[in-house]
Amino acid sequence: MIKVEDVELTFNQGTPIENHVLRGLNLNIEDGEFVTIIGSNGAGKSSLLNVISGDLIADSGYILINDRDVTHFPAWKRAGMVARVFQDPMVGTCENLTIEENLALAYNRGKSFNFRAALNRKRRLLFKDKLTMLNLGLENRLSDMMGLLSGGQRQAVSLLMSTLQPSKILLLDEHTAALDPKTAQFVLELTNKIVSKNQLTTMMVTHSMKQALDYGTRTVMLHQGKVVFDVSGEERKKLTVTDLLNQFEKVRKEPITDDVLLLD
Amino acid sequence: MSFEFFLGSLEIGLIYALVSLGVFISFRLLDFPDLTADGSFPLGGAICGLCIYIGVNPWLATLYGTLGGCFAGMITGWLYVRLHILQLLASIIVMIGLYSINLRILGAAPYIMGETPNMAGSPNLPLLNLKTIFTPFLNEDFSNQYIVQPLIILLFVILFWLLLNMFLSTRKGLALRATGTNPRMASAQGIKTGGVTILGMAISNGLIALGGCLFVQTQGGADITIGVGTIVIGLASIIIGESVFPAKKLAFITLSVIVGSILYRLFIAIALGNEFLQMIGIGTEDLNLITAVLVVLALVLPKQIKKWIPKRGGKI
């Protein structure tokens, strides 16, 4: 489904602030896998997601989606294949567009934005129906501005938007990090529901070791722009947060003393 | 204020309503600080004037002028999107370039007509007694000019207001608004943000140039200086509209821009007709200063008013 081969990425190449974030990263994700990605700050987690979505273009190496080489496609060209939810609730939705307009944009994801009406009765009914599933009462606020919603509500709508067009890949970049614990839990449960219902191939970046093991079918640890630990199946089921932490200390070659990772 | 003076202000207000709608697209919808307006307004006027001078049908002349503005906007958009020149700088570059082009266009008309021996630039082009889009509707003695011209321009404004709102409710229009507010989200939805920006800039400057076309036809001549301050007038209209007629729905927001433009002209007319101001020696030469003060007031007042309105917000 997703193949990442020897991908290199350097920010600010040739300047004093040069930062080699991805160093020959290899990753092969099968259809239907739900991969959780962990790693310390600067390990390359978000960059990995960004080179897959096209927000960043890899310096070298290949990105294949469905056996198609998309390494040099800009983000808009991959939008039909990849749906994403961002860490910042403000990024995933347009605040001065109404809820229904945001949904209309997502409903058109990867298709031509032509001169046909963006909204009609049929679409409104569909959006209402979909919003009802969130249980947030948003189905009665279709024409409210997105900016009136809380961060959690916006993330929930972002998730819903990612399912409006049948793309097989969902990229989640710490999409609960900006939310309070209770709302984060709600959004995570919703994520699980949506992923299993739509049988999406998912990559979820998280800072929480517990989340990484509780959700998904496979866990990948990144360190200095490379995959250093990759676990799935039976072996993963037996894994505890402590095991993961030990593994983490081993690759870092130093004990974890700060709060780079959340243990809960 | 005499009735004719009032209608004259209304006429200019309506012409600048088109300009303000264009400025609204770039500044408000695309979040693109675009100063091309100061060049595309006289560009529209110059092209339209040239065409009328050499005998082209005035409706076609208006169309050509408008398309000229579209093209100028596309260049500004292209400089920003493809060559990554800062938005403000890209528009200033185009504006400065257009100054020379406008001089050339204004000078070309007499040359084409064989009235001047060589092709030189000119700062103005008289269009008196030439056939404009208004000519067929006017009496022989121009007595109904004050009524007919604002009416026809009003029809233009209504037409383009409707067209703009129709466009903004299409998928393309939605893509344009998303690009302006959140380009990252827009491209994640598959929107070609670069192309949409260039399109938006074309529409914006097309409307501004259309204003220029109508302006030279009502004023009886094209002049290189008509573009000075276009952008500030457009912004003033938007801000005045927003403060006196705050709206949530896009159709009403665009309507408020039109109302703002008319109000702005009436304010100016009242200010210039004010006896006290006349007494202390303020006249037409102070127009731009008055505008600047008006814009500052309109910028500051809404913020003061906003402080009194509590913020709304939901929570799960």
Q: Report yes or no on B309 lying in a domain.
A: no
Q: Report yes or no on B258 lying in a domain.
A: yes
A52 CA: distance to closest CA in chain B (Å): 12
Nearest to B181 among A96, A115, A153 (CB): A96
Domain count along chain A: 1
Residue span of the structural domain in which A234 resides: 2-81+167-252
In the chain, the amino acid numbered B264 is Y
Q: Report yes or no on A51 lying in a domain.
A: yes
Q: Report yes or no on B265 lying in a domain.
A: yes
Span B140-186, pLDDT tens digits:
888 888 899 999 999 999 999 999 999 999 999 999 999 999 999 99
Q: Do A75 and B187 touch (CB under 8 A)?
A: yes
Q: Do B190 and A108 touch (CB under 8 A)?
A: yes
A241: CATH: 3.40.50.300
Residue B57's pLDDT is what? 97
B107: CATH: 1.10.3470
- pTM score of the predicted model: 0.89
- Tell me the C-alpha to C-alpha distance, in Å, between residue A9 and each of A22, A40, A57, A134, B272: 5, 17, 8, 38, 62
Q: Report yes or no on B21 lying in a domain.
A: yes
Q: Report yes or no on A77 lying in a domain.
A: yes
Q: Report yes or no on B312 lying in a domain.
A: no
Do the Cβ atoms of B32 and B94 come closer than 8 Å?
no
pLDDT at A47 over 80: yes
pLDDT at B311 over 70: no
DSSP H helix total and E strand total for chain A: 10, 10
pLDDT at B315 over 50: no
Q: Report yes or no on A199 lying in a domain.
A: yes
Q: Report yes or no on A20 lying in a domain.
A: yes
Span A115-135, pLDDT tens digits:
999 999 999 999 999 999 888
Span B101-112, pLDDT tens digits:
999 999 999 999
Q: Report yes or no on A72 lying in a domain.
A: yes
Residue span of the structural domain in which B225 resides: 3-304
Residue A85's pLDDT is what? 92
Q: Report yes or no on A220 lying in a domain.
A: yes
- DSSP H or E segment with residue A3: strand A2-11
Domain count along chain B: 1
Nearest to A186 among B186, B187, B316 (CB): B316
> Please, which residues 152-181 of chain B have a Cβ atom closer than 8 Å to chain A?
167, 169-175, 177-178, 181
Q: What is the arithmetic mean of pLDDT over B89-110? A: 96
Quickly state the pLDDT bin for A252 (edges 50, 70, 90). confident
Span B198-225, pLDDT tens digits:
999 999 999 999 999 999 999 999 999 9
Q: Do A76 and B193 touch (CB under 8 A)?
A: yes
Q: Report yes or no on B314 lying in a domain.
A: no
Q: Report yes or no on A88 lying in a domain.
A: no
Residue A254's pLDDT is what? 67
